[in-house]
């Protein structure tokens, strides 16, 4: 069974839907929530980010590969750009961005408090031109990064949402909660390395086969490695974490 085909179809559909409806910024923009917090308003993206966090407590980073509109834009870009992102130290940039962004939001709500809930904040109160600008701006941010540094560069290096999911996934593993994972079977593995080549996040999957599970903060559970292994050494499972994998 191929996971990549349905996954790509779903994530490209979400990208087209959210961008065409001009609601990408309302639910996922890092900017609108900063403006909202400076006025003490609980806006729609406040709830989006909480939902994403709760999702990660069970599904890890699967949201990134299966539902994120930003990922969908990169999949569309991937039809033209074949360059693959590198597993470099640049992946830590996203944590600095997240920390700075979250600090501004927290300070905003501390100073202003939660004064009202306004789910349309950033929609009804801004012009269609500004909404278009925010939507096109997000695409103009993601696409050049993919062209220069490889497909999935924004997920790997700069995404402000990625640390939310990584924190959720780590809490899940720390508490030994069951969740969606990729199980490995070393007995079936022929060490061919095809799974590592297929990983869009440049994770050395083959190196992790002996752990019994793929544990990596950058694994977005896309299923490419599962699809690529002709020997059935990888599969999705719902389970608690394996100790060997967590130690690595």
Residue 38: is it exposed, middle or buried by C-beta count within 10 angstroms (0-12/13-18/19+)? middle
Which one, 37 or 56, has the nearer CB to ligand SF4? Answer: 56
Q: Which of 68, 223, 241, 245 binds ligand SF4 (CB under 6 A)?
A: 223
Q: Judge whether 139 and 73 are in contact, CB under 8 Å.
A: yes
**Nearest distance, CB of residue 124 and ligand SF4, angstroms:** 38
The residues in 171-210 that bind ligand SF4, with binding defined as CB under 6 A, are: 182, 189-195, 198-199, 201, 203, 205-206, 209
Smallest distance, ligand SF4 to C-beta of residue 170, A: 16
| Minimum distance of ligand SF4 from residue 205's CB (angstroms) | 5
The smaller minimum CB distance to ligand SF4, of residues 126 and 189, is found at 189
Minimum distance of ligand SF4 from residue 182's CB (angstroms): 6
Q: Which is nearer to ligand SF4, 25 or 156 (by Cβ)?
A: 156
At closest approach, how far in Å is the CB of 179 from ligand SF4?
14
Minimum gap (Å) between residue 167 Cβ and ligand SF4: 18
Q: What angle do CA 221, 92, 48 make, to 5 degrees?
A: 55
Question: What residues numbered 88-107 form the site for ligand SF4, per CB under 6 A?
Answer: none
DSSP-derived secondary structure letter, 235: E
| 224 binding ligand SF4? (CB under 6 A) | yes
DSSP assignment letter at 151: B
Per rule CB under 6 A, is residue 212 in the interface with ligand SF4?
no
User: What is the spatial distance between Cα 95 and Cα 159, in angstroms, rounded to a whole number?
Assistant: 9
Which H or E element spans position 69?
A: helix 69-77
90 burial type by CB count under 10 A (0-12 exposed, 13-18 middle, 19+ buried): middle
Tell me the DSSP string of 99-148.
HHHHHHHHHHHHHH---EE-TTTTTTTS-HHHHHHHHHHHHHHHHHHHHH
For helices 44-59 and 30-38, give the axis angle rounded to 10 degrees. Answer: 130
- Regarding 41 and contact with ligand SF4 (CB under 6 A), the answer is no
Binding site for ligand SF4 (CB under 6 A): 182, 189-195, 198-199, 201, 203, 205-206, 209, 214, 219-225, 228-229, 231, 233-234
């Amino acid at each position: 069974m191929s996971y990549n085909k349905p996954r790509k179809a779903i994530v490209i559909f979400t990208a087209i839907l959210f961008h065409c409806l001009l609601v990408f910024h309302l639910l996922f923009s890092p900017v609108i929530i900063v403006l909202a917090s400076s006025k003490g308003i609980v806006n729609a993206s406040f709830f989006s980010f909480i939902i994403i966090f709760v999702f990660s407590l069970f599904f890890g980073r699967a949201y990134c590969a299966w539902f994120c509109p930003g990922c969908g834009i990169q999949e569309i870009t991937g039809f033209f750009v074949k360059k693959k992102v590198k597993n470099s130290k640049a992946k830590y940039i996203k944590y600095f961005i997240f920390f700075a962004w979250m600090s501004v939001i927290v300070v905003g709500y501390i100073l202003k408090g939660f004064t009202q809930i306004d789910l349309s904040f950033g929609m009804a109160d801004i012009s269609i031109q500004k909404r278009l600008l925010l939507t096109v701006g997000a695409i103009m941010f993601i696409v050049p990064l993919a062209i220069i540094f490889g497909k999935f560069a924004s997920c790997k290096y700069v995404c402000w949402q990625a640390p939310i999911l990584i924190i959720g996934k780590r809490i899940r593993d720390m508490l030994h909660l069951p969740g969606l994972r990729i199980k490995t079977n070393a007995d079936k593995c022929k060490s061919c390395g095809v799974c590592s080549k297929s990983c869009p996040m440049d994770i050395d999957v083959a190196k992790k086969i002996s752990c019994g599970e793929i544990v990596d903060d950058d694994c977005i559970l896309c299923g490419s490695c599962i699809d690529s292994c002709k020997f059935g050494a990888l599969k999705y499972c719902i389970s608690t974490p394996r100790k060997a994998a967590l130690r690595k």
